[in-house]
Structure 1
Amino acid sequence: MTTLKIKDNSTVNKDEFSEVNSVTNKIADKTLVQLEKEGVFVFPELVKEANDITKDQMILQSVNENYRTSNVMGFLGYGKDRLVIESRFSREDEDFFFQYLLERVLNFPNILDLNTDANQENRLFSLLLFLFPYYLKVAMRKGEFKTYVHNKYNDGNVKGIIDIGRHIQKNIPFTGKVAYNQREFSYDNSLMEIIRHTIEYIKKKPYGNNLLRKVKDEVAAIVSITEHYEYYDRQKVVIENKKNPVRHAYYHEYRALQKLCIMILQHDKHQIGSGVRQIHGILFDGAWLWEEYINQLIGDVFYHPMNKGGKGAQRLFSTDENSKVGLIYPDFISRDDRNRIIADAKYKPIGNIGNRDYLQILAYMFRFDAKKGYYLYPEQGEIDKLTLMMNSGSTYEGNVKKRDDILIIKCGLRIPKNADSYESFVKKIQISEKVFLSSITS
């Protein structure tokens, strides 16, 4: 079994992929949508929530003699070859930072050994299991999924279409019962059943009950709905869900949950390294994880509009007819309307923040009458802050000078580099978080 580890947002010579050619050939120059269709699980759901991840984004894009990676981190496998994409802000030998983001944002249990090849197959499967509570909670916010089902009855209260063949088989000589089929609008359907099967599957894992405790109300609702649950129907339920994916746009959260349940219940067929000749894996949008992590740190003092989720939308303009024009989603808007601050989370080094980044945040600051803007980014070096002051004047008149009333500040959260264990990394980054917060609020 061969494993290659690379970093996100980096350029790697194609020769380095020679030992994992089989997986490389399956993913190179393919978009995330194509990989999703082939069996790769992408988090968060494409287009719906992620700001920086798009359906046309590629995992490995050919650029002359190199492959260029993007904001995506995760694990991919094909046959006996594995490709691990780690965070560029982590050490060469340990991806503690990626693990910490997963733990903080998605509340993953701390049982991921991101450097042990022997646990690689289990690592992928654990990630799928740990995503289940998140997807279940998000889907259940829409309420229980209800759809039409076909039920078979054999009693005296005929309410549907008589099934003559079944009636002859069961009720001759006539006993007062009639066999009939009825189409009913029901919560107990194949989708709810596969969710129930996944719940029961997770319960049997050593950490299953602790994992499901986070969504105990949602689990209780699913259990109460699925009265027809039978363990021996699992394969039939999986097949039915594969044939009938959720298509209604309103229930797109259930579509993602349905796909996750199928992958979990078919783990024995699809685990990385098992020799299956199909690409499989799980990918995370690093920029989304970073933005949600920052929201956990500063959410008490900043609003957090959600871009493609459509929450907290703002408008740049109004017209004489009172219509709103120019939809925008600043990452963060301070709750203090007297001293408004705009903040932008950037999953990139300080030197890569510029050009269009500046124009965007300045437009947001102008819209909200903010005198101060922040770029919040992961810092690998020793820089704590870099303050940029807006210029006034023009080079044509020779009167360019800096202003001290409009500032853009690049504020980095220092990522520990010398932690010898994950526990040590957590302690060090918690210190970094306190310094980071004091920089913003001071």
Structure 2
Amino acid sequence: MKQLLIKDNQYRPKSDFCEVRDIVNHIADKTLAELEKEGIFVFPSSVRVSEDLSNDQMILQSYNDKYVSGNVMGFLGVGTQRIVIESRFSRDEKDYFFQYLLEKVLKFPNFINFETSVNQDDRLFSLLLFLFPMYLRDAMRKGLFKTYICRQYNDGNVRGTIDVARHIKKNSPFIGNIAYSNREYSYDNYLMELVRHTIEYIKGKNCGRKLLSTIKDEVNQVIKATPEYRAGNRKRIIDDNIKNVVRHAYYHEYRSLQQLCILILRNEQHQYGNGTQNVYGLLFDGAWLWEEYVNMLIGDEFYHPKNKTGDGAQRLFAGNFGLIYPDFIGKDNNERIIADAKYKPLNNISGKDYLQVLAYMFRFDAKKGYYLYPEADSLNDVSLVLNKGMTYENNVSKREDISVVKCGLHIPNDMRNYTDFIEHMEKNERIFRQKLLC
């Protein structure tokens, strides 16, 4: 097994990737849209949910004699080669920070042990399983997936197209039945069968039934909707779904669910790459995880508009012009605060970041703004006071009433184990909240 550990948003010499050349040949300079079609699962859906990812972004991009990694964390593999992308804010060999974000934001149980597991494939498979309830729940908010399917019959009640060849084969000599096929609108279709096979597969895994108990109603609906389920049809159902990708915009949640189910079930066939040269992987948007994590810490005191879902849309101008989505808007209208979550180091917060937050502060009459970022080096917060006046008139001076603060949440490193990491993180979270809400 050949494995390479890298960080997100990192430049590495191309020579470092020699032992994982097969993976690099599959993913280098390819967009997320291209890689998702090849079997790499991106969470959340890059276009639908995440503001910080787009389909034209890349996991590894060539830059002279180096590769630069993107804003994602996770696992990639081809054959016996693996690439693990960790958070750049974890300085330890164990990426406790990434694990902590997954547990907090996605409610992953902490028995996915990142500390002791030496098998990245087992870790990846566990993550896929624990994503399934979330994706099934989201998809079934649209109701059961229903589509046209072609069914074959052989009886005396003809209500479709007669299949001459099959009729001769099955009904010679003639005994009163007619072989025919009919196109019907049905819940028991290729996709719902795929979901049913995934449910049955998860039931046989450790903690599978406990996991499915969190979506008991959805599971029961799928089982009732798939009376044609046969365990021996699994390979055919997988192949049918690979050929028939859900494309209708209304069912985009089912498209993600379909991709996840295929990835889970193909694990049984290929054991994640052993004996095959297909690329596979599971990637998480680091910026999205960080923003949702911050929302868990301060969401009781801040509104949290969401761009991709359209929740909490605001406008800069009267007449419904200038659509904006600030990350966080303080609920106290007497001392309004604007906060922006940034998954980047302190020194990388600059330029357009300043202009964006100041525009939001002006729009909502806020005197104070914050950049909320993960801090790995124990640096002090930086307070920036807005200027007034112009150099042309030689009257530049600072304003005492408007400021923007780069406020970091310290990420502990050099921890002996994950339990110590959690203890220090919870202490730092309390300090972080106090700085914002004092």
Give the TM-score of the pair, scaled to structure 2: 0.94
Q: Is the 8 A contact 1:149 1:189 kept in 2?
A: yes
Question: Quick one: distance in 2 between partners of 1:53 and 1:15?
Answer: 27
Instruction: Tell me which amino acid in the other structure corresponds to 1:123.
Output: R
Q: Which residue of 2 aligns with 1:407?
A: 403
1:50 aligns with 2:60: no
Instruction: Tell me which amino acid in the other structure corresponds to 1:70.
Output: G
Q: Are the structure 2 counterparts of residues 243 and 440 from structure 1 closer, same or farther at C-alpha, using a change threshold of 3 Å?
A: same
Q: Is the 8 A contact 1:86 1:95 kept in 2?
A: yes
Instruction: Tell me which amino acid in the other structure corresponds to 1:434.
Output: R
1:392 aligns with 2:388: yes
Question: Quick one: distance in 2 between partners of 1:119 and 1:154?
Answer: 51
Instruction: Tell me which amino acid in the other structure corresponds to 1:204.
Output: G
Question: Quick one: distance in 2 between partners of 1:230 and 1:224?
Answer: 14
Give ranges in structure 2 of 5+ residues lacking alignment.
Answer: none
Q: Which residue of 2 aligns with 1:108?
A: 108
Q: Does 368-377 or 329-338 show the bigger shift? A: 329-338
> For each residue in 1:291-332, what CA deviation from the matched residue of structure 2 results, as whole angstroms up to 9, or x when unmatched?
1111111222222222223332222223xxx4x222211111
> For each residue in 1:184-235, what CA deviation from the matched residue of structure 2 results, as whole angstroms up to 9, or x when unmatched?
2222211111111101100110111122222222212212222221211211
Deviation at 1:151, TM superposition (A): 2.9
Q: Which residue of 2 aligns with 1:341?
A: 337
Q: Is the 8 A contact 1:303 1:333 kept in 2?
A: yes
1:440 aligns with 2:436: yes
Matches within 5 A, 1:34-113: 34-113=34-113
Q: Which residue of 1 aligns with 2:193?
A: 193
1:233 aligns with 2:248: no
Question: Quick one: distance in 2 between partners of 1:96 and 1:273?
Answer: 26
Q: CA RMSD in A?
A: 2.0
Question: Quick one: distance in 1 between partners of 2:386 and 2:405?
Answer: 11
Give ranges in structure 1 of 5+ residues lacking alignment.
Answer: none
Instruction: Tell me which amino acid in the other structure corresponds to 2:417.
Output: S
- Three-state SS of the structure 2 residue aligned to 1:209 is helix
- Three-state SS of the structure 2 residue aligned to 1:412 is strand
Deviation at 1:338, TM superposition (A): 3.2
Question: Quick one: distance in 2 between partners of 1:435 and 1:48?
Answer: 34
Q: Does 197-206 or 393-402 show the bigger shift? A: 393-402
Question: Quick one: distance in 1 between partners of 2:342 and 2:110?
Answer: 26
> For each residue in 1:45-85, what CA deviation from the matched residue of structure 2 results, as whole angstroms up to 9, or x when unmatched?
12111111111111122222221112111111122221111
> For each residue in 1:244-301, what CA deviation from the matched residue of structure 2 results, as whole angstroms up to 9, or x when unmatched?
1101011111001101101111113444451421221111110111111111112222
Deviation at 1:171, TM superposition (A): 9.0
Question: Quick one: distance in 1 between partners of 2:201 and 2:117?
Answer: 25
Q: Which residue of 1 aligns with 2:378?
A: 382
1:126 aligns with 2:126: yes
Q: Which residue of 2 aligns with 1:330?
A: 326
Number of equivalent positions: 437
Question: Quick one: distance in 1 between partners of 2:424 and 2:220?
Answer: 39
